[in-house]
């Protein structure tokens, strides 16, 4: 990953023009939001408010509880349907409009689509995706600059949150010198990296810590110990005293072993639906695997959701993962 360009991202002029307009704006990210999705939404919201625009921030699922410590996070509306008729809607970090989990967005006056996932379906009136960005907030940072809004502590904190979490703590692929420039500017503008790091990584419940034990206890190894398979059902949650919204990041646990090249986490928390997360190291392409189930993501981090029982999904998935690892 030494060949990545760290040049500034090219913010389309049409996007800047749309952001610089007036009139109400609704900003949302993807369902089951993570730090980059929320960081992108909240940083852009803060910047547009600074320009005097009326802004609503919306998500189909609540933010992780610890994120309520961040500025104005309590104003994030949790809803699965909006009346967006005529409004300008900004969609962050979502490769398809359906990834938002919110109905009604298609009636918006204009949809501004900002994303860094390969395979974005260009569903917007204006589409800007750049797979070269290590996090969506890298794009948002450049868009805010293009708007001429100076960064305050709120903007800097949310940009830093997205950057920190989507790069896995500055370790994933796609990190470039630009990522570190962004981190430096965030800190200079008032982001507190220690506090953001604690909120993002060290603010979980004890139930989640026990869930780590349950998951690792049930971990199975395949492909000569290079693939770890984790399954998570309501039973594990009950034994651990955890809840289904506390699973973010757990898939990374087996990865700390050098021998592990790929991890899959299968979970069913809603009736009949199985959610799968896939992670890999190096050139192993788990996005291609997720695509075979209608999902997507990045080469080293992807996922999908199917309306089939966990065991059936696992039986179909394992041979494909073994192929990817071969």
**Least distance to ligand 5GP from the beta carbon of 240, Å?**
20
281 phi and psi angles, rounded to 5 deg: -110, 150
Residues 6+ apart with CB under 8 A from 311: none
For Mn ion, which is the closer residue by CB, 93 or 154?
A: 93
Q: Does residue 115 bind Mn ion (CB under 5 A)?
A: no
Rule CB under 5 A: choose which of 34, 138, 154, 236 binds Mn ion.
Answer: 34
26 phi and psi angles, rounded to 5 deg: -115, 130
* CA dihedral for 286, 289, 293, 294, sign (positive or negative): positive
The site partner of 37 among Mn ion, ligand 5GP, none (C-beta below 5 to 8 Å per kind) is Mn ion
**Least distance to ligand 5GP from the beta carbon of 39, Å?**
14
For ligand 5GP, which is the closer residue by CB, 128 or 304?
A: 304
**Least distance to ligand 5GP from the beta carbon of 264, Å?**
10
Measured from the Cβ of residue 160, the count of other Cβ atoms closer than 10 Å reads 29
Angle at 59 between CA 58 and CA 65, to 5 degrees: 115
Distance between CA 197 and CA 209 in Å, rounded?
A: 17
Eight-state DSSP code of residue 105: G
For Mn ion, which is the closer residue by CB, 36 or 236?
A: 36
Question: Closest Cα partner for 322 from 262, 258, 279, 260?
Answer: 262
Eight-state DSSP code of residue 88: E
**Least distance to ligand 5GP from the beta carbon of 295, Å?**
4
The site partner of 124 among ligand 5GP, Mn ion, none (C-beta below 5 to 8 Å per kind) is none
Residues 6+ apart with CB under 8 A from 63: 33, 38, 73, 76
Distance between CA 303 and CA 121 in Å, rounded?
A: 16
The site partner of 40 among ligand 5GP, Mn ion, none (C-beta below 5 to 8 Å per kind) is none
End-to-end CA distance of the chain: 22
Distance between CA 295 and CA 190 in Å, rounded?
A: 37
**Least distance to ligand 5GP from the beta carbon of 133, Å?**
12
For Mn ion, which is the closer residue by CB, 136 or 143?
A: 136
Decide: residue 142, CB within 10 A, 0-12 exposed, 13-18 middle, 19+ buried.
Answer: buried
The site partner of 121 among ligand 5GP, Mn ion, none (C-beta below 5 to 8 Å per kind) is none
The site partner of 277 among ligand 5GP, Mn ion, none (C-beta below 5 to 8 Å per kind) is ligand 5GP
CB 230 within 8 Å of CB 250: yes
The site partner of 302 among ligand 5GP, Mn ion, none (C-beta below 5 to 8 Å per kind) is ligand 5GP
**Least distance to ligand 5GP from the beta carbon of 34, Å?**
7
**Least distance to Mn ion from the beta carbon of 298, Å?**
10
- Give the binding site for ligand 5GP (CB under 6 A): 95, 117, 277, 295-298, 301-305
Rule CB under 5 A: choose which of 11, 26, 28, 36 binds Mn ion.
Answer: 36
Site for Mn ion in 76-105 (CB under 5 A): 93
Residues that bind Mn ion (CB under 5 A): 34, 36-37, 93
């Amino acid at each position: 990953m030494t060949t990545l360009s760290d040049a500034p991202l090219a913010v389309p002029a049409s996007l800047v023009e749309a952001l610089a307009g007036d009139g109400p704006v609704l900003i949302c990210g993807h369902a089951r939001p993570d730090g980059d999705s929320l960081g992108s939404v909240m940083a852009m919201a803060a910047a547009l408010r600074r320009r005097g625009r009326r802004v609503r921030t919306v998500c189909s699922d609540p933010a992780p509880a610890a994120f309520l410590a961040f500025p104005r996070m309590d104003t994030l509306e949790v809803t699965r349907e909006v009346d967006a008729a005529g409004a300008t809607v900004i969609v962050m970090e979502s490769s398809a409009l359906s990834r938002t989990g919110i109905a009604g967005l298609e009636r918006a006056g204009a949809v501004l689509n900002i994303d860094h996932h390969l395979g974005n379906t260009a569903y917007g009136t204006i589409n800007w995706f750049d797979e070269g960005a290590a996090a969506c907030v890298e794009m948002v940072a450049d868009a805010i600059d293009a708007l001429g809004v100076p960064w305050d502590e709120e903007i800097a904190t949310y940009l830093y949150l997205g950057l920190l979490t989507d790069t896995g703590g500055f370790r994933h692929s796609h990190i470039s010198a630009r990522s570190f420039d962004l981190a430096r500017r965030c800190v200079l503008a008032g982001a507190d990296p220690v506090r953001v790091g604690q909120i993002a990584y060290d603010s979980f419940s004890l139930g989640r810590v026990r869930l780590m034990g349950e998951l690792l206890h049930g971990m199975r190894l395949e492909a000569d110990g290079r693939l770890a398979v984790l399954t998570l059902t309501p039973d594990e949650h009950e034994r651990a005293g955890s809840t289904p919204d506390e699973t973010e990041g757990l898939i990374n646990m087996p990865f700390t072993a050098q021998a592990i090249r790929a991890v899959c986490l299968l979970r069913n928390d809603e009736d009949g639906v199985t959610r799968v997360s896939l992670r890999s190291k190096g050139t192993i392409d788990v996005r291609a695997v997720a695509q075979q189930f209608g999902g997507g993501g990045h080469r080293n981090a992807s996922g999908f959701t199917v309306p089939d029982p966990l065991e059936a999904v696992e039986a179909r998935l394992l041979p494909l993962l073994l192929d990817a690892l071969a």
